[in-house]
Amino acid sequence: MPFGKFSYPSNAQVILYQRIGSVTTDRPLLLTWPDGNRKLAVLIGEGLWRWRLNEFADNGNTQMFDELFSKLIQYLSTLEEKRKFRSYPLQNEFSNAEPAVIESQVYNDLYELVYGNTIRLEIRNEQGEVSTYSYITSPGSSRYRIGGLKEGIYRFTASTSINDKKETVTGQFLVRAQNVEAQNLTADFGLLRTLSKESGGKFYTSNQWADLTADLQQTKTASLIHSEETF
């Protein structure tokens, strides 16, 4: 019934409009709207299965049909309580010899990962001192590493903007002091020989002090220029 009248919720989002012959109308054909904790979709029509056959007949594939309705089903099946912004430490505890790593993920309405959002991080130590960081997510960079943290409990606040709305996540992690040298008190001569060889040095044992002294006296010191860049 092309000229039938019907009403639909005011908060509905129209995905497709009806076309009668060659005339495009403002009447919905496919629309969705939230209903409490679920989402509904309504198609004002029938013969949906023909759409896919017609697309294959015209284009030799069903890419548009499959993409539209697979994403529609994915959208309908996601629950509203799923957060579109997640930020969390990769571990509950880090050592002060390694950086603390914060993972941040941003999702669209279909709960697909999206990139390009600016993430703002605020790290607060036990003394109330706050350090602020900012970075932009990308497919190969959704984690932020914070080095040089001293022993203690840290609380963080991560925030970003999604559809002009600020989303915020809070959490905490622990940094423990770690004495790396005390982990292995046995000298590893094989490792020492390898390090000296790869760095252009030499390996000496305790009964080769004379050789060490002679080599040091023959070594000419080179002038070095040190540079440091800060961004």
Q: Which distant-in-sequence residues (6+ apart) come within 8 Å of 81 by Cβ?
A: 37
Contacts 24+ apart (CB under 8 A), 76-79: 76/32, 76/39, 76/40, 76/41, 78/39, 78/109, 78/110, 78/111, 79/37
Residue 186 burial (10 A CB sphere; 0-12, 13-18, 19+)? exposed
H or E stretch including 119? strand 118-124
The pLDDT value given to residue 224? 85
Of the three residues 24, 42, 77, the one that is the final residue of a domain is: 77
Whether 43 is covered by a domain: the verdict is yes
The pLDDT value recorded for residue 62 is 92
Question: Is 125 inside any structural domain?
Answer: yes
Number of domains forming the structure of the chain: 2
Q: Give pLDDT, residue 74.
A: 82
Place of tokens 């979709």: 41
Q: What is the residue type of 128?
A: G
Q: Which residue has the tokens 């529609």?
A: 72
Residue-wise pLDDT tens digits, 129-164: 999 999 999 988 889 999 989 999 999 999 999 988
The pTM for the full model equals 0.48
For residue 131, give the 3-state DSSP assignment: strand
Mean pLDDT per 10-residue section of the chain, whose length is 231 residues: 77 90 88 86 90 93 91 80 84 89 90 91 93 92 91 94 91 85 76 89 89 89 85 84
21: how many CB neighbours lie within 10 A of its CB? 6
User: Is 24 among the domain residues?
Assistant: yes
CATH number of the domain where residue 171 is located = 2.60.40.10
Statement to judge: residues 46 and 101 lie in one domain: no
* DSSP designation for 219: P
Q: What is the pLDDT of residue 3?
A: 66
108 domain residue, yes or no:
yes
H/E element, 74: helix 63-77
Chosen domain end from 153, 176, 199: 176
User: Which domain range does residue 59 map to?
Assistant: 13-77
Q: Choose one of 154, 176, 198: the last residue of a domain.
A: 176
